[in-house]
């Protein structure tokens, strides 16, 4: 029964840490850029788009496709940074917990946000 008590304690610690991590991620903002910073997007730590910034020189009708490509690239850059931030936060949240299957850092676990 002592082992079950430890497991329950760890589960409670994990739940608390996960809630704290989600709160930190919601407050985190990550910027991605493309075109030498001519297009920037700002995402929350959970991946929600918060802002788009476009250099006025790109606002030319003939460059619409370039602008569209730069927006996609800037978003991809920011998304990669969000994923790295999430992985870092997950590692902090699970540090010191003796999780089954070697999941102390939760390896490649994908979160639902």
Q: What is the CATH number of the domain that holds 74?
A: 3.30.1310.10
Q: How many domains does the chain have?
A: 1
Task: Return the closest-CA partner of residue 90 out of 21, 19, 5.
Answer: 21
43 has pLDDT over 90? yes
pLDDT of residue 109 exceeding 70: no
pTM here?
A: 0.67
Domain enclosing residue 80, as ranges: 2-96
Mean pLDDT calculated for residue range 64-93: 90
Q: Is residue 24 part of a domain?
A: yes
pLDDT digits (tens, 9 = 90+) for 90-106: 888 777 766 555 444 44
pLDDT digits (tens, 9 = 90+) for 50-69: 999 999 988 887 878 889 99
């Amino acid at each position: 029964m002592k082992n079950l008590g430890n497991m329950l304690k760890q589960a409670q610690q994990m739940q608390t840490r996960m809630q704290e991590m989600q709160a930190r991620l919601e407050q985190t903002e990550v910027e991605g850029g493309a075109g030498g910073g001519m297009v920037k997007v700002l995402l929350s730590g959970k991946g929600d788009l918060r802002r788009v910034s476009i250099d006025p020189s790109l606002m030319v009708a003939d460059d619409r496709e370039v602008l569209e490509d730069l927006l996609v690239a800037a978003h991809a850059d920011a998304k990669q940074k969000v994923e790295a931030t999430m992985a870092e936060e997950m590692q902090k949240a699970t540090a010191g917990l003796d999780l089954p299957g070697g999941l102390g850092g939760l390896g490649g676990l994908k979160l639902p946000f």
